[in-house]
Structure 1
Amino acid sequence: MYPYLSLGPLVVQLPGLALLAGVYLALLLTEKRAAHLKLNKEHVYNMVFWGLVAGIVGARLAYATRFLSVYLESPLSLLALNPQTLSPVDGILTGLLVAGVYGRRKNLPLRPTLDALAPGLAAFMVAVGVAHFLSGDAFGAPTDLPWGIYLWDAYRHPTQIYEVILALGVFLAVWKQPLGRPGDGLNFLLLVALSGGARLFLEAFRGDSLVWDGGWRAAQIVSLAVVLLSLALMQKWYPPLQNRQKR
């Protein structure tokens, strides 16, 4: 793994740099797709930007509350560019809340806006996989397979590489807009379904997953629920899709 790059006295955290590159690419692709869908690209861009800012701040503050004594001793640590000191779930919820409020105030139509977000979110997921590879997070379970990588005193499944490959596949599928009409929201649901399916597969090889009693992996249960919900929404929102498939 390659968590740091030393440039003289400067030490760059490569996982954080990968995430920043992912944010930049996500904003760029979202703006382009918004223009293609004839949305106000400035409003969409600002919605994503402020959602990201709120998500990062919310994730850091939520993490800090769990280690309050540490951050009270060193308040400047709140500004550290370390993705490992973030609470992802709290960040996602905060970001979605702020983005939703902004989009509603700017009267952005829901389904076209969701479709505009899809390629950028897919590209960001690729960056997350790269960041995991660089940091060594999200590591795999021990394996005897010839492509195992040596990490944490064992040869393990290269789940970070699996994650990047799956994320690239999801991105290519969403970028081509294979379903529905542009702006009807179907490709956003496709992104959610494919991402949930990829996570369902990937978790089988993870070595750091939360496992409930009975051997159930928490992330797989959540991923399965996400896949089923997205497929149900496809059928509910888009009955014409079923008619086109029967022809």
Structure 2
Amino acid sequence: MFPLLQLGPVALQSPGMILLVTLWFSLTVAEKEAKRLGQPHDAAYGLVMTALVGGIIGARLWYVARYWSAYAADPIGIVALSFNTLDPTAGFVIGLALALLYGYRKKLPLRPTLDVLTPGLAVFSIGLGLSHLASGNAFGAPTEMPWAIYLWDANRHPTQIYEIILTAAVFGVIWFIRKASPFPGFLFLAWLALTAVCRLFLEAFRGDSIIVADSIRQAQLASLIVLLASLWLMRQWAMDSSQQDDLQNHPT
């Protein structure tokens, strides 16, 4: 693991640097995809930046609110931002809400916009795995397998490497099928379903999972819900698209 990148006298957080570089690549991919699909790429860029900045601020404020007793005596610490002092769930929810609000105000078509963003999301997922490898977060359970890595005083499953391999495979699938999407929104739902399947697999080897009801891994339960929801939406959106095609081909 390499949590810090030393550049002369300056020490940079390598997980954060990885995420920033990956974000740049993700935005570049989304911009090219918007141009290919004839969507306004500046609006897609604005949507991502709105969700990102709002999500980070929301994640930080939520974390501060949860641990206010630690910040009450030192309010300056609130602005001392670190990737370890963010609430990712709150950040995701707030970022998603802001993205939906931005898209509504800009009158962006929801499903085509989601398809535009999907390849970039797949790229960012790979970067997230790389950042976990750099920081040592999302570590695996102890194991005696020959490919185990020594981390946090034990030989563990290299779940960060599993994550990188799986997210790279998902990106490959998404990139391959992106020009053959049967209906608007399919690409996004396909990415969501594949990511949920990967998460169901990964969580079985994680050593830091949150356990609920004595035996159920919280992330696996959430992934299962996301998988079922994405498959249901895929069916619904396919039916909507088919009905729209019928109306266009057989107008009353």
TM-score normalised per structure 1: 0.92
Match of 2:71 in 1: 71
**Alpha-carbon distance in structure 1 between the residues aligned to 2:183 and 2:86:** 33
Evaluate the alpha carbon distance shift between residue 124 and residue 78 of structure 1 in structure 2; reply closer, same or farther with a 3 A threshold: farther
Match of 1:198 in 2: 198
- What percentage of residue pairs aligned between the two structures are identical? 49
Deviation at 1:172, TM superposition (A): 1.1
**Partner SS state of residue 34, structure 2:** helix
For the residue of structure 1 that corresponds to 2:216, the secondary structure is coil
Task: Find the counterpart in structure 1 of residue 58 from structure 2.
Answer: 58
Indicate conservation of the 8 Å contact 1:112/1:183, yes or no.
no
Query: Matched residues in 2 for 1:236 and 1:135: separation?
Result: 40
| Pair 1:30–1:161, CA change in 2 (3 A) | same
Aligned to 2:157: 157
In the alignment, what sits opposite 1:245?
none
1:185 aligned residue = 185
Q: Equivalent residue for 2:43?
A: 43
- Does the 8 Å contact 2:183/2:238 carry over to 1? no
What does residue 246 of structure 2 align with? none
How many angstroms apart in 2 are the aligned matches of 1:12 and 1:154? 27
2:15 counterpart letter in structure 1: P
CA displacement 1:203-235 (0-9 Å, x = unmatched): 000000011224111111111111111111111
Separation (CA, whole Å) in 1 of partners of 2:15 and 2:211: 26
Structure-1 residue corresponding to 2:250: none
Match of 1:10 in 2: 10
Report the number of matched residues: 242
SS state of the match for residue 205, structure 1?
coil
2:86 is equivalent to residue 86 of structure 1: yes
Q: CA RMSD in A?
A: 1.9
Q: Does the Cα contact within 8 Å between 1:193 and 1:231 map onto a contact in 2?
A: yes
CA contact (8 A) 2:139 2:156 kept: yes
Describe the shift of the 1:182–1:34 C-alpha distance in structure 2 as closer, same or farther (beyond 3 A). farther
Q: Deviations over 1:39-81 (max 9, x none)?
A: 1111111011111000011011111112224334444444445
1:228 counterpart = 2:228: yes
Q: Residue 207 of structure 2 aligns to a residue in which SS? A: coil
**CA deviation digits over 1:92-117, x for unaligned, max 9?**
11111111111111111111101001
Residue matched to 2:98: 98
Structure 1 moving runs of 4+ over 6 Å: none
Alpha-carbon displacement from aligned partner over 1:98-144 (angstroms, at most 9, x marks no partner):
11111111111111101001011111111110111111100000000
Report the Cα distance in structure 1 between the residues aligned to 2:75 and 2:2, rounded to whole angstroms: 27
Secondary structure of the residue that 2:211 maps to in structure 1? Answer: coil
Give the 3-state SS of the residue equivalent to 2:231 in structure 1.
helix
Greater displacement, 118-127 / 173-182: 173-182
Q: Which residue is 1:217 aligned to?
A: 217
Output the amino acid matched with 1:233. Answer: L
- 1:120-135 aligned within 5 A: 120-135=120-135
On the 8 A contact 2:185/2:237 being kept in 1, the answer is no
